């Protein structure tokens, strides 16, 4: 059962005690991501993530990593469109060290000029690597096609120009606005004594001060419905098709997850069976929902030989039409509800998985469902619920499409999707 605690400075803590494990996973979540940037500082959230490993007022970069790794622990971080998370996983006996290192990184970064310049080169290489990975590259293109110039479409890594332009002043200005207690959640899962955990967090984080003059808000981006193609000299064409989606916290999300299990998630799904198993057009094909504050999207991804793109898109459109007109039978709904419950429970195995789930939910939505509440929501899904979400997601069909590869033009992609 999750519990909450709030420090006097507004920092929220959400935690779950699991007494039968010998480990603990601790995450510090900041509402800092590419969605909260602008054209001039795009990529700075990710840049900051790197810089917090490069030394503090108390530790060198090497000391940060050595202090955790010498205890057999793991220290890492990631940046997404809506958040940045710094996390450790340790033996439960070393929880205090984990909290100490994380607090030092987040509150006392040194931002040395020479480290900033070195990290620019590292991240420019990361951008180049990303450009060479079509499965990753296509995601940024998909967001650009769907959301246009809205900040939700900004690439997480930034661009060559923006990253090259970062100065120490720019970094410190962004850090001072986003890295504040009221913009942060700490999530902890594992074996610990509650009093000692709270005491240690109070000790390390209570002196952290707020910048009360800055408030983060999310807009409601309007889908542009665009088509984009990126030419790359690779053997396959990678395609991402986008349908309407549901925002974070929407009451229909559990129904959508159930629909996705049936439609495009896994080897028994309609998409996989029809387009890979029956026709052999692709090696990999799947669908997935993505939810954000105030908006969402439903994606279908596949990669195939250039000669098969048109036929693969045609079959995807047929499956979209089939699920919209025929819906899902009551017997199938009961089956996919069991699949969804199984996937949910298996996804909770491991303290880190739980820590990630509750930390993100608390940061973005300010609420977390218990496992029992989630199971109850899945069990309570009705055919009417499923039909309502199917009508919303699939009625308009494909609203945006992108491709990465050779031997395909934007006009071809438009023709394949629109049928003219």
Catalytic residues: 49
Helices 253-263 and 309-326, axial angle in degrees (round to 10): 130
Contacts of 416 (CB under 8 A, 6+ apart): 309, 310, 313, 314, 401
Q: Three-state SS for 109? A: strand
Burial 225-248 (b: 16+ CB within 10 A, else e): ebbbbbebeeebbbbbbbbbbbeb
Cα dist from 24 to 4, 193, 363, whole Å: 17, 11, 20
- Helical H segments across 217-306, by residue range: 253-263, 270-271
Which token pair is 70?
């010498």
Q: Is 377 exposed, middle or buried (0-12, 13-18, 19+ CB in 10 A)?
A: middle
Any alpha helices (H) in 42-188, and if so which ranges?
44-51, 61-69, 95-107, 113-131, 134-147, 160-165, 168-178
> First vs last Cα of the chain: how many Å apart?
55
What are the residues facing 302 on neighbouring strands?
A: 239, 285
- Phi and psi of 381, rounded to 5°? -60, 130
Bridge-based pairing of strands 295-304 and 237-244 is antiparallel
Helix (H) or strand (E) holding 248, with range, is none
Which H/E stretch holds residue 11? none
Residue 314 to residues 283, 318, 379, Cα–Cα distance (Å): 17, 6, 34
Check if the beta carbon of residue 396 is closer than 8 Å to that of residue 297. no
Q: Which of 197, 196, 189, 198 is nearest to 19 (CA)?
A: 189
């Amino acid at each position: 059962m999750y519990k909450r605690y709030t420090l006097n400075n507004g920092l929220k803590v959400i935690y779950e005690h699991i007494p039968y494990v010998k480990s603990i996973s601790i995450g510090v979540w900041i509402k800092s991501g590419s969605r909260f940037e602008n054209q001039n500082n795009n990529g700075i959230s990710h840049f900051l993530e790197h810089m917090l490993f490069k030394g503090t007022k108390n530790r060198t970069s090497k000391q940060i990593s050595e202090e955790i790794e010498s205890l057999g622990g793991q220290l890492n971080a990631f940046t997404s469109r809506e958040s940045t998370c710094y996390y450790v996983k340790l033996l439960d006996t070393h929880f205090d060290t984990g909290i100490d290192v994380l607090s030092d990184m987040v509150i006392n970064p040194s931002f040395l000029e020479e480290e900033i310049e070195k990290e620019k080169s590292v991240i420019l290489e990361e951008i180049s690597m990303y450009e060479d990975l079509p499965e990753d590259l296509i995601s940024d293109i998909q967001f650009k096609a769907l959301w246009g110039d809205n900040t939700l479409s900004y690439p997480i890594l930034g661009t060559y120009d923006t990253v090259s332009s970062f100065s120490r002043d720019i970094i410190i200005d962004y850090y001072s606005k986003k890295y504040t207690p009221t913009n942060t959640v700490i999530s902890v899962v594992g074996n610990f004594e509650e009093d000692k955990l709270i005491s240690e967090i109070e000790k390390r984080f209570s002196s952290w001060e707020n910048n009360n003059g800055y408030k983060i808000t999310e807009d409601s981006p309007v889908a542009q419905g665009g088509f984009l193609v990126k030419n790359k000299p690779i053997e396959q064409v990678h395609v991402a098709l986008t349908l309407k989606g549901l925002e974070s916290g929407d009451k229909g999300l559990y129904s959508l997850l159930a629909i996705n299990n049936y439609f495009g998630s896994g080897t028994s799904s309609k998409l996989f069976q029809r387009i890979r198993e029956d026709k052999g057009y692709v090696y990999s094909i799947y669908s997935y929902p993505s939810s954000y504050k105030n908006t969402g999207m439903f994606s279908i991804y596949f990669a195939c030989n250039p000669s098969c793109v048109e036929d693969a898109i045609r079959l995807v459109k047929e499956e979209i039409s089939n699920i919209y007109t025929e819906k899902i039978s009551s017997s199938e709904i009961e089956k996919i509800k069991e699949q969804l419950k199984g996937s949910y429970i298996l996804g909770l195995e491991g303290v880190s998985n739980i820590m990630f789930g509750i930390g993100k939910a608390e940061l973005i939505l300010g609420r977390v469902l218990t496992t029992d509440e989630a199971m109850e929501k899945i069990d309570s899904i009705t055919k009417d619920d499923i039909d309502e979400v199917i009508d919303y997601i699939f009625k308009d069909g494909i609203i945006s499409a992108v491709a990465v590869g050779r031997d395909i033009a934007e006009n071809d992609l438009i023709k394949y999707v629109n049928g003219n």
